[in-house]
Structure 1
Amino acid sequence: MTDIGFFARSFGPPPREGRPAMVLVHGLGLSGRYFVPLARRLAAGGATVVVPDLPGNARSRAAEHRAPGVGQCAEALARLHRRLSLGPSVLVANSVGCQVAAALAARHPRLVGRLVLVGPALEPGVSGWRQCARLVADAPREPLGLLGLAAFDYLVTGPLRCAASFGHALRDAAGAFEGNLSRVRAPTLVVRGAGDTIASGTWTRRVAGLVADGRAGEIPGAAHAAHYGAPDAMAALIEKFTVGEPGRSTVGEAG
C-alpha cells in the first residue's frame, strides 16, 4: 500500500533518469495480478515497472467507499506518478483500463511519454449487453489461470462495485473516451490479440487513428488479455515500440 491510499506492486530497479518507468493499468473489477507475468519480463530487461490496483478494486478496495469513475482513477494514477517521481512513463493498459490511460494522457500529457493500449474494450454505440456477450465469448479463448485469477478478483472487488464500474465505463465510452484519445499526443500503440472477441480489428484501428501518432498491432495466438496469454511477445513488442521513433512501424503491426 502506498501512502497515497492504494496498493501498487513494483518490479525492477528504482526509477532513473534516461529510462522511462512503465505503469501497467488493469481492466474493470480486476487487480494488477494478471499483469505480473508481463511486469517480470519487462523488469528483466531493466525497466522500472509499477503495477497498481486502482482505487476501489481488489487490494485497493478500501481506498474508495464507492466505485470511482474513469476520471477519478486517472487522477489517482497522476498522484501515484508524482509520489513515485516516475516522470514521463510508458503507460500500458488493458480493456477498460485503456479508458483510464487515455484520460490520464489527455489530462496530464507531461506524465505520459508513450501509450500502449491492449484490447480497448468498450466501443461507443455497442450496448452493455452486447459487450457482456463479447466477454463471455472471449472467456474460452483465455488461459485457465487467468479465468481463476479474474474470478477471485471480481469476488474481492465485489459484484456491486463491478456493476457500478461498468456503468461508469459505458458512460465514458459514450462520451469522453474518443475525445480523450483525440487529445493524446504521446506515440501510441494499440494492440489486440488476434483471437480477441471484445476489441475488434476495426475498432483497434479506429482507436489508433484517433490519436495524433498511433499505430495498430496484433499478437497471434492471444485473446483479449494478450499481455497474459502471450507475455513474451507483448514484452518484445513494447520494448521495440519504446525505443522506436514516432511514426515508424513496430513488430507485429497490423496491416
Structure 2
Amino acid sequence: MEQTWRAGLFTRGFGAEPEAGAPAVVLVHGLGLSGRYFVPLARRLTADGASVLVPDLPGNARSRAAAPRAPDIDRVAAALAHWHRRLSLGPVLLVANSVGCQVTAALAARFPDLVSRMVLVGPALDPAVPARRQCGALIRDAPREPLSLLGVAVSDYVLTGPLRCAASFRHALRDSAGAFEANLARVRVPTLVVRGAGDTIASPSWTARVAGLVGDGRTAEIAGAAHAAHYSAPDALAELIGKFTATGPGGSA
C-alpha cells in the first residue's frame, strides 16, 4: 500500500499504478471517516489484478485541511471529479459506502464520462427516514460490526472533528431530502446495490428503490454482514464485484 497526497487529497494506492486513461477502482468512504476501513476490500481487489485508489474526501480525516469547512455533497463530488481528472484516470468503477453513495451518485450524474460502473454498499441516507431514526439506526448497527472497525471509526471521527461530522451530517440530510434521488435517476451506468443482511441503516426496501431509480440497477445481499459489508465481508463483496463487472448492461453475460 502506498500512502501519499495526490491531486490535493490524501490517497491510498493498492496494486499497479493505473496508467493514464486506464480503468481503475476508486473506493469512496462514508461520513466523517477515511479510506482506512476500505483496506480489506482494496487488498482483495488488488489480488484479483485491479488498480485501486482510496482517497480521503476533502474535509475528512487526513484530507481535513483540503477544505476550510465541511463541504456539502455537491462540492465533495466536484472535488472528487477534479482529483480524478488531475490523475488522468479513465472511466472508473466506483465502490461507495453509506453517505459516500450520495457523493458517487452526484458524481455519476454530473460527470458521467468519469464513471464506468458503480457499486453502492449500504446506501444512505433514506429520505423517508427522519434524522433521529437515522441516528438510532447507526447506533443499532454498531454492535453488529467487527470491534476493529469501531476502533477505526472512532479514531477517524476524532481526526475529522465532531463539528465537521455534525455539519457533514446536515449536508447529507439536505442532499437526501432533495438531490439524492434525482441524481440516482440520472445515472445510466450499470449499478450494483449491496446491503449486508444485518444492516439497520439501508433497508431492503430502500436498497431496492435505489436500484430501481438508476437506469441499469440490480441488488445483492451479503449474509452475516451489516452496514460496512466491505469491511466485514471483503471476500464476498469482491466476488460480487467480479461477477458484476463481468456482465454487460442489464446483467447479460
Q: Quickly name the TM-score band, shorter chain normalised.
A: over 0.9
2:70 is matched with which residue? 67
Matching of residues 100-249 of structure 1 within 5 Å: 100-248=103-251
**CA distance in 2: counterparts of 1:193 and 1:212, whole angstroms:** 23
**CA distance in 2: counterparts of 1:137 and 1:3, whole angstroms:** 36
2:5 is matched with which residue? 2
Most deviating of 13-22 and 130-139: 13-22
Q: Percent identity?
A: 72
- Residues 124-150 of structure 1 show CA distances to partners (whole Å, capped at 9, x for unaligned) of 121111100000000000000000100
CA contact (8 A) 2:20 2:87 kept: no
Is the partner of 2:251 in helix, strand or coil?
coil
CA contact (8 A) 1:19 1:47 kept: no
User: How far off its partner does 1:186 sit?
Assistant: 0.5
Is the partner of 2:5 in helix, strand or coil?
coil
Residue type of the partner of 1:10? Answer: G
Is the partner of 1:189 in helix, strand or coil?
strand
Residue type of the partner of 2:195? Answer: R
Matching of residues 40-55 of structure 1 within 5 Å: 40-55=43-58
**CA distance in 1: counterparts of 2:138 and 2:79, whole angstroms:** 27
Is the partner of 1:2 in helix, strand or coil?
strand
**Match status 1:32 vs 2:50:** no
- Residues 185-236 of structure 1 show CA distances to partners (whole Å, capped at 9, x for unaligned) of 1000000000000000000000000000000110011000000010011111
Most deviating of 26-35 and 13-22: 13-22
**TM norm structure 1:** 0.95
Name the CA shift for 1:245/1:46 in 2 (closer, same or farther; >3 Å). Answer: same
CA contact (8 A) 1:15 1:85 kept: no
User: How far off its partner does 1:18 sit?
Assistant: 9.0
Residue type of the partner of 1:242? Answer: T
Long gaps (5+) in structure 1? 251-255
- Residues 66-87 of structure 1 show CA distances to partners (whole Å, capped at 9, x for unaligned) of 0011011101111111111211
Question: Which of 92, 95, 99 pairs up with 2:95?
Answer: 92
CA contact (8 A) 2:195 2:207 kept: yes
Is the partner of 1:115 in helix, strand or coil?
strand
1:253 is matched with which residue? none
Is the partner of 1:7 in helix, strand or coil?
strand
Residue type of the partner of 1:209? Answer: G
**CA distance in 2: counterparts of 1:162 and 1:98, whole angstroms:** 17
**CA distance in 2: counterparts of 1:207 and 1:52, whole angstroms:** 24
RMSD after superposition: 1.4
**CA distance in 2: counterparts of 1:217 and 1:151, whole angstroms:** 28
CA contact (8 A) 1:58 1:156 kept: yes
**TM norm structure 2:** 0.96
User: How far off its partner does 1:19 sit?
Assistant: 6.0
Most deviating of 226-235 and 118-127: 118-127
**CA distance in 2: counterparts of 1:95 and 1:27, whole angstroms:** 5
Long gaps (5+) in structure 2? none
